[in-house]
Structure 1
Amino acid sequence: MSADEFPLDSGLRRGRLGTAHLVFFTVAASAPLTVLGGGVTTMYAVSGNVGAALSYLLLAVVLGLFAVGYAAMSKYVANAGAFYAYIANGIGRSAGVAGSFIALAAYNAIQIGLYGLFGAIFGDFMATKFSVELDWWVWALVSWAVVGVLGLLQVDLNATVLAILLVLECVAVVIFDVVALGNPAGGSITLDGLAPGNLFAAGLGAVLALGIASFTGFESGAIYSEEVKDPRTTVARATYITVAFTGLFYAFSAWALTVSTGPQNAQAASAEAGPGVIFGALAEHAGTTVADIANVLFITSVLAALLSFHNGVARYLFALGRERVLPAFLGRAGRRTGAPVSGSLTQSVLAVVVVLAFAWAGRDPIIDLFTWFSGVSAVGVVLLMTLTSAAVVGYFRSRRSGPETAWQRVVAPVAATVSLLLILVVLVVNFDALLTPDTPPALRWLLPAIVLLAAAVGLAWGAVLRANHPEVYAGIGRGAIEEGLPEPSLHPTPAPAHPYPARR
């Protein structure tokens, strides 16, 4: 594609997105059908924890606490760098750069890992249904091309595509839930899958590790805060809706699986059939046509998640390029589409290099590429949320005026920081639960260490900017204001030129 096809401008398009758009982006990122077919079945297979479904409600409460402070601060900080800007303005500029590097590592990891999952499941589908047998990486490259093109188009068009895919996959999950409850194992519905005593038992660490990975993407609404119609309310409203919807939906569907198989058989059935537990039940009780459609929607669910994370990474790169933390060419958007063209192309190049590297090395697309990178992403996102909750406390401590209550400023963010830190410890300690028994033992520590390495590099780069480029360092986390983002709607309290408190 030539530069003339996507002429560059300096800003994203304002006012394109509403609450519904953001909900589609965030829920599509966590991919409900992918969670049920891949995440939930893996959770039961690995942990053997009968009460695992309840973990989604528990995690939703913790994420709800996080959302309180996150939503309150979103009224004042509108930046495509999201966590990067929050941390920079609440903890410090160098910490913000570290946060941005963690975000790039985490979101690139999950996005690229999903190419492995897509290539594997789409390859199996084509071989089974049409006898077309090609290597997984061929199909991964097909999806890469589709995502790459959509990433260059208008963000509201992306939201429309995601909305269609999301509604269809949610319908498929609901059909499974109805089938499961209508045909319970043993002839009666049991609530054992939601019993607290069954959750707080063996395998809890693995359940929490895999559970938090299922929510990854719910927090991405702030990435689009510069493109929403009402920055003061849209991000907050979309975040609350996403947390409530995904928590309840995942818990109910995970419980429905135990009803379908019988609580004591959930582990064996999931270990043997994986996603086949879902599609087998649909084929048996709803017909092969419904099962085949659901299988296609499983594939498009992964595609929707790929597109959502691609958009998120592109906007992080845009924000960092605009503020000169990374090369300035990244901070340019298309004049016609308002899309972060340079960031989108950069993410696409990185993804294809990693996918081809795994293909050349002969690594398994799911066991290696998808599982390893999903684990890295989960660690990175939880660390980011922990730092962001702490940043909310720091930000409001320096900004006394405003309508926010003590619950929004201090209580909920502190509770979220402590809870997320505990989850992070459990996730790292139990990281081997995400790996197969034949995975080299060192990887249980080396893979999470990627996130720490990204943080260390970010801190070091922040120090370099502070020493050698003070003008760049001074603007970290403030790019949206520099571009003239409408201050009356974002900053209701009268303030000087830069309403964010100075941080060092």
Structure 2
Amino acid sequence: MAEHTTHRSITGDDTAGAPALRRGRLSTASLVFIIIAASAPLTVLAGGIPTAFSVSGLLGAPLAYVALGVILVLFAVGYGRMSSRIQNSGAFYAYISEGLGNRQGIAAAILALVSYNMMQIGLYGMFGFSAAAAVSGWTGLDVPWWVAGATGWVIVAVLGVNKIDLSAKVIGVLVVLEFLVVIAVSGLSLGHAPEGITAQGLLPDQFFTAGIGVLLAFSIAAFMGFESGAIYSEETRDPERTVPRATYIAVGVIAVFYAFSAWALATGVGPGKVIEEATTYGPDLVFVWLAERSPVLSDIATVLFVTSLIAALLAFHNAAARYFFSLGRAGVIPRVFARSGTNGAPVAGSLTQSALSLLVVAVFAVAGLGSDLGDLYPVLTLFTWLTNAAAFGLVFLLTVTGVAILVWSSRQKDGAGVFTRVVAPLVSSIGLAVVAVLILANFDLMIDGAGPEWLVYVMPGVIIATGLGSLVWGEVLRRIRPATYAALQDNLDQVPD
């Protein structure tokens, strides 16, 4: 039976003198850009969509984005309602603690921290490869992937310890440029449709079939980070409205935009051969196709593909840093992680995240020396292994959060209707649970044989073991530091009824 603690209503910037992040930094537009940056629009167009076509063998990728968008909009109904009442930089921790109890909240927070870390660090593999390939293509210089990755690491590390609105401005510019390029590619695709503009890819028989599980498992990656809006609730100008509004906008934009982009790309390449082409070229499909029709746009897209990864790295870095901060403030991990700078940024968490990234990338750099995988080594190992495991962890956390929202909603006496209190969180939780199972069932396809067979069990196992170990740590904390454990929910910055 889940424990429940009576909460103190907090309306100021501080909880019993605990450290706080700087309020009033983020507007709705800034938060939307941060959320969308984590999904990296150009990365999805170049990497996610061709991969979905090639691995599933289906044209139904557009409908997969729509279906997942519906599930996540339903999730956002309760998520947004809860975020308007509880503002905390450790969103999963705060919401699951409130709904299911402290032990579960601690486990969720640590699992979220590990998942965001794996997602962020894994992206350095793709960034290093892409940046090195771009430099080589333009200058002929053979730059090691880890040297290119180090350049991105410096940028992210510097921005990570600065005020959040600086990161938001950088991310905002990059995301707008990404959108413009994706729109241009989509327009060019529709203008060069070799088989004409058809409804192929939008027909149910290309979605409701045997490959649906693969489509959903691969397509969910495009939405990773949509939940991060609540992480910044302490730093928004009007958290009661900003976070729910930004989450709805981001999910809606991502679902519609990616569905349209996937359909347009299939139309531009040709529905009859897009699967074959995607299998042949993989993430290079978009750039190869562009180079034949608009070399200038291909060069621009290549640059923005690299910068889109910078935006995603920064978005996930900021999310992980705020989980370090929230857990440190709560006493779940050493309180040194709760240190923030004069600019209101979670400096200790940010520096820790940067140090972890440097360490893991260095290990992969050394391990990859002389690898038979050649230039693709960082993509097939660091990127593929860590990001897919992280995706499973985040989808699993979203499922548990949906259950927590359902439980929390049942206790509220604010007059909300049955759809808001029960239907939306229940349906979204079931949908997310199905996607989590599909990721596990198709994990061998997701890592595409990039490594030994035991990785299929070890990488998801890391996520599961983290969750179970964190539950144990929550119980240990309850026994050896009961005062800290009992005070955990005092750190949930809750708006009065």
User: When the two structures are superposed, what TM-score results if normalisation uses the length of structure 1?
Assistant: 0.92
Q: Are 2:330 and 1:318 equivalent residues in the alignment?
A: no
**Residue of structure 2 in register with 1:271 after alignment:** 279
Give CA deviations for 1:275-331 in whole Å, capped at 9, x if unaligned: 33212333333x322210111001000000000000000000000001111110001
**Residue of structure 1 in register with 2:45 after alignment:** 36
Pairing of 1:185-196 with structure 2 (within 5 A): 185-186=194-195, 188-196=196-204
Measured after TM superposition, the shift of residue 431 of structure 1 is 0.9
Amino acid at match of 1:88: S
For structure 1, the 5+ residue unaligned runs are: 1-8, 482-486, 494-504
Whether the 8 Å contact between 2:94 and 2:492 is mirrored in structure 1 is no
Amino acid at match of 1:70: Y
Whether the 8 Å contact between 2:380 and 2:450 is mirrored in structure 1 is no
Measured after TM superposition, the shift of residue 403 of structure 1 is 4.0
Q: Matches of 2:384 and 2:415 in 1, distance apart? A: 44
Measured after TM superposition, the shift of residue 15 of structure 1 is 1.0
**Residue of structure 2 in register with 1:446 after alignment:** 458
**Residue of structure 1 in register with 2:154 after alignment:** 145
Q: Are 2:427 and 1:415 equivalent residues in the alignment?
A: yes
Q: Matches of 1:435 and 1:342 in 2, distance apart? A: 33
Q: Matches of 2:65 and 2:142 in 1, distance apart? A: 37
Q: Alignment partner for residue 347 of structure 1, among 353, 376, 380?
A: 353
For structure 2, the 5+ residue unaligned runs are: 1-17, 372-376
Q: Are 2:364 and 1:358 equivalent residues in the alignment?
A: yes
Q: Matches of 1:310 and 1:394 in 2, distance apart? A: 30
Q: Matches of 1:203 and 1:138 in 2, distance apart? A: 39
**Residue of structure 2 in register with 1:289 after alignment:** 296
Whether the 8 Å contact between 1:176 and 1:281 is mirrored in structure 2 is no
**Residue of structure 1 in register with 2:141 after alignment:** 132
Pairing of 1:482-497 with structure 2 (within 5 A): 490-491=495-496, 493=497
Q: Alignment partner for residue 384 of structure 1, among 397, 412, 431?
A: 397
What secondary structure does 1:232 align onto? Answer: helix
Q: Matches of 2:454 and 2:481 in 1, distance apart? A: 38
What secondary structure does 1:333 align onto? Answer: coil
Whether the 8 Å contact between 2:62 and 2:202 is mirrored in structure 1 is yes
Q: Are 2:265 and 1:252 equivalent residues in the alignment?
A: no
Q: Alignment partner for residue 62 of structure 1, among 71, 74, 83?
A: 71
**Residue of structure 2 in register with 1:4 after alignment:** none
Q: Are 2:385 and 1:372 equivalent residues in the alignment?
A: yes
Q: Matches of 2:491 and 2:143 in 1, distance apart? A: 45
Amino acid at match of 2:255: G
Q: Matches of 1:477 and 1:365 in 2, distance apart? A: 41
What secondary structure does 2:488 align onto? Answer: coil
**Residue of structure 2 in register with 1:498 after alignment:** none
Measured after TM superposition, the shift of residue 10 of structure 1 is 2.7
Q: Are 2:337 and 1:330 equivalent residues in the alignment?
A: yes
Measured after TM superposition, the shift of residue 25 of structure 1 is 0.5
More displaced stretch, 9-18 vs 231-240: 9-18
Q: Are 2:402 and 1:393 equivalent residues in the alignment?
A: no
Q: Matches of 1:58 and 1:455 in 2, distance apart? A: 28
What secondary structure does 2:61 align onto? Answer: coil
Q: What is the percent sequence identity of the aligned residues?
A: 45
More displaced stretch, 403-412 vs 219-228: 403-412
The total of aligned residue pairs comes to 473
Amino acid at match of 1:93: N
CA root-mean-square deviation? 1.3
Give CA deviations for 1:87-109 in whole Å, capped at 9, x if unaligned: 00100100001101110121111
Whether the 8 Å contact between 2:60 and 2:215 is mirrored in structure 1 is no
Pairing of 1:16-35 with structure 2 (within 5 A): 16-35=25-44
Q: Matches of 1:397 and 1:201 in 2, distance apart? A: 36
Q: Measured at CA, do residues 180 and 477 of structure 1 come closer, stay the same or move farther in structure 2, by a change above 3 Å? A: farther
Q: Matches of 1:281 and 1:473 in 2, distance apart? A: 57
What secondary structure does 2:322 align onto? Answer: helix
Whether the 8 Å contact between 1:50 and 1:264 is mirrored in structure 2 is no
**Residue of structure 2 in register with 1:98 after alignment:** 107
More displaced stretch, 438-447 vs 466-475: 438-447
Q: Matches of 1:52 and 1:172 in 2, distance apart? A: 20
Q: Matches of 1:428 and 1:208 in 2, distance apart? A: 12
Measured after TM superposition, the shift of residue 133 of structure 1 is 1.0
User: When the two structures are superposed, what TM-score results if normalisation uses the length of structure 2?
Assistant: 0.93
More displaced stretch, 297-306 vs 443-452: 443-452
What secondary structure does 2:240 align onto? Answer: coil
Q: Matches of 2:362 and 2:489 in 1, distance apart? A: 34
**Residue of structure 1 in register with 2:437 after alignment:** 425
Q: Matches of 1:32 and 1:477 in 2, distance apart? A: 36
Q: Alignment partner for residue 307 of structure 1, among 298, 303, 314?
A: 314
Measured after TM superposition, the shift of residue 43 of structure 1 is 1.3
What secondary structure does 1:16 align onto? Answer: coil
Pairing of 1:233-248 with structure 2 (within 5 A): 233-248=241-256
Q: Matches of 1:206 and 1:12 in 2, distance apart? A: 40
Measured after TM superposition, the shift of residue 189 of structure 1 is 1.0
**Residue of structure 1 in register with 2:9 after alignment:** none
Q: Measured at CA, do residues 240 and 371 of structure 1 come closer, stay the same or move farther in structure 2, by a change above 3 Å? A: same
Measured after TM superposition, the shift of residue 438 of structure 1 is 5.5
Q: Matches of 1:219 and 1:31 in 2, distance apart? A: 15
Q: Matches of 1:237 and 1:257 in 2, distance apart? A: 30
Q: Matches of 2:449 and 2:383 in 1, distance apart? A: 16
Give CA deviations for 1:224-264 in whole Å, capped at 9, x if unaligned: 00011111111100000011000000011011111012123
**Residue of structure 1 in register with 2:6 after alignment:** none
Give CA deviations for 1:117-148 in whole Å, capped at 9, x if unaligned: 00001101101111121211111111111100
Whether the 8 Å contact between 1:180 and 1:281 is mirrored in structure 2 is no
**Residue of structure 2 in register with 1:484 after alignment:** none
Give CA deviations for 1:189-211 in whole Å, capped at 9, x if unaligned: 12111111011224222211111
